[in-house]
Structure 1
């Protein structure tokens, strides 16, 4: 199903003014992404793969493949399979600390991927230049105003500001505070998308009015019919409330671990034990800091796979944002996007 017309041709006549206003506010975002609706799919490892990514793009949004811990061959196959499922544009999310980042950039370039999203901190030297040399547009995450300015100077074409309400790896500041801090300063110079804790269209409308050009959502798409996540994983989302999505705790201050937000279960306890194990090996000199952090990342990838693919929602990691309380049923991607669009349009129209 194409997303064309979801904004321009609303379900109800009385909402037409709101839909037109929504289209105006999203114009920079849709123009930048090359889609109909400036809603990006959050890059969720094991979840944001060919099926969900293609469905989001076909519904008028912008799907993003989560490369995560994939090697170049796996990413190559995933991009090819996604291209076979949709003719609409989509992006690829790469983690800056990936040991094969350079090779992954080459894979994206060979496939002429239109947008590359870099997550996980400042990109290593040369990465930005190589991505842009391939013709791709570069999107970077900016968890603070100072970093947003630095990324702009470094050549980022757009930014995503994601607050701590999000699922998966999170920063220390809420979405609403980041939006107030960053949007007024940089949104005139560079397209900015807002992410973290967004579950309804009213929130989308509010961030657009503050200067955002679009939004990124992950948690709302987990229970899409097109998502390959195990039924147990989806049931956990449908049953959960916002307070069930909690951040992991850092056990040893000498081992910097980016917190992860997930539904509370036995895995959150297991992760504390894993941190102690890695910290001990670090103390013993058995591994270097970079290897320690990489081990933590691989641990999360495995724990997430147990939950998403195998359906083990107790000893696997059920990464979820605080908007999980707004996920209450399984439905098609197109229905999710349509609902968000209609809610945003109604909110805009109510404000006159």
Structure 2
């Protein structure tokens, strides 16, 4: 491809995601997905420094821990980054205060439908809100509640997922939402896919799995090796064995932990049916099975029994690379697609 064609592709790409870049304050409209234990200061700063938009995964952090993490990230980058807050967190209001006190420019609200009051508080504090929209009706409701941007995430993503694929969500939502920028997530690992969603009306994209094997990512070497060895079909959803005992679907690499989880469900349900456990205790025992499992995998490297959360795009993660190289590859592929 000639330099002229490459330049033409870059110009078209710039136009295509200009709205997303302007909203984020970045060179590239690529958000880093918020992954607990993974999306901390080192990876977040690296993504932002390389032209993307890093996002701290607050997860179960206390307000004090989040305050420390934000300040540490600000010491590593002067570029914009965001903070992802779980709407069901018991101290959500205090976490919002921490973000606003530290002049975080963008707050991502995930893990449930955020209250209008929360969105208003963030906006009144001078920050922008990004919300997850699983269906078109909720996308419209979130905009009415004041959301400044939306993320639509398909079931190909890693971690907690919904039931609908990225391509279907994009077709259902993108033609009808033009009031605010919409970022597409789930199963994206190459620039050609980014270009296609931009053509469909997206303002940008969000990637998580592709960044796990960044050199700046603190994940354990064995966690990264598991990603590099895996194929798309290895990233499976957790199995629910009885509808009376609902399990929130999580996509992760199939391992002994996943098989043990199925066995545990059967054992707990048998105890319940034998009268040894009441319904609530049985449900709690099943829910608590994975407690600490993600940390064991990411930080300790227990990829056999820990939870190795990964999206189906894991099959396209072939090696450890710098964040700069990952973003440059994505941009080059997207630009070539536009050329």
- Residue 240 of structure 1, CA deviation: 0.4
Relative to structure 1, is the Cα distance of residues 12 and 326 closer, same or farther in structure 2, using a 3 angstrom cutoff?
A: farther
CA contact (8 A) 1:171 1:258 kept: no
Which one of the candidate residues 73, 92, 110 is aligned to 1:82? 73
| Residue of structure 1 aligned with 2:325, choices 322, 335, 340 | 335
1:26-61 Cα deviation digits (max 9, x unpaired):
100000001110000000000000000000000000
- Superimposed CA distance per residue, residues 46-88 of structure 1 (whole angstroms, 9 cap, x where no aligned partner): 0000000000000000000001111111111111100010000
Tell me how large the CA RMSD over aligned residues is.
2.3
Distance in 1 of aligned mates of 2:112 and 2:21: 26
1:97 equivalent among 85, 88, 95: 88
C-alpha distance in structure 1 between counterparts of 2:280 and 2:163, whole Å: 30
Q: Give the Cα–Cα distance (whole angstroms) in 1 for the partners of residues 281 and 122 of structure 2.
A: 31
Query: Given the superposition, is the C-alpha separation of residues 300 and 214 from structure 1 closer, same or farther in structure 2, using an over 3 Å criterion?
Result: farther
Q: 1:198 deviation in Å?
A: 0.3
Distance in 2 (CA, whole Å) between partners of 1:97 and 1:222 is: 25
Report the Cα distance in structure 1 between the residues aligned to 2:20 and 2:92, rounded to whole angstroms.
Answer: 27
Cα 1:310–1:154 change in 2 (3 A) is same
Please state whether the residue corresponding to 1:243 is helix, strand or coil. Answer: helix
Task: State how 1:13-162 maps to structure 2 within 5 Å.
Answer: 13-124=4-115, 126-162=117-153
User: CA distance change for structure 1 residues 316 and 151 in 2, over 3 Å: closer, same or farther?
Assistant: same
Give the conservation status (yes or no) of the 8 Å contact 2:16–2:203: yes
Three-state SS of the structure 2 residue aligned to 1:226 is: coil
Instruction: Please list every run of 5 or more consecutive structure 1 residues that lacks an aligned counterpart in the other structure.
Output: 1-9
Q: Deviations over 1:148-197 (max 9, x none)?
A: 111111111000000000000110000000000000000x2110000000
For residues 231 and 177 of structure 1, the distance between their equivalents in structure 2, rounded to whole angstroms, comes to 35
> 1:68 & 1:274 partners in 2: Cα distance?
25
Per-residue deviation, 1:277? 7.8
Change beyond 3 A, Cα 1:247–1:11? farther
Distance 1:301 1:104 in 2: 22
In structure 1, C-alpha distance between the alignment counterparts of 2:120 and 2:18, rounded to whole Å: 27
CA offset digits 1:191-212 (Å, max 9, x no partner): 0000000010000000000000
> Shift of the alpha carbon at 1:300?
4.1
Q: Is the 8 A contact 1:69 1:301 kept in 2?
A: no
- Call closer, same or farther: CA 1:277–1:49 in 2, change over 3 Å: farther
Q: Tell me the number of residue pairs that the alignment of Structure 1 and Structure 2 aligns.
A: 335
Distance 1:321 1:308 in 2: 15
CA distance in 2, matches of 1:28, 1:277: 52
TM-score (norm 1): 0.90
Cα-to-partner distance string for 1:264-303 (whole Å, 9 max, x where unaligned)? 001112333555688759x7265698xx49x83x754510
Structure 2 runs not aligned, ≥5 long = none
Determine which of 305, 325, 328 is the counterpart of 2:315: 325
CA distance in 2: counterparts of 1:216 and 1:300, whole angstroms: 26
Alignment partner, residue 4 of structure 1: none
Residues 33 and 62 in structure 1, CA contact (< 8 A), matched pair in contact too: yes
Judged with a 3 Å threshold, the aligned counterparts in structure 2 of structure 1 residues 50 and 11 are, in CA distance, closer, same or farther, namely farther
1:238 is matched with which residue? 228
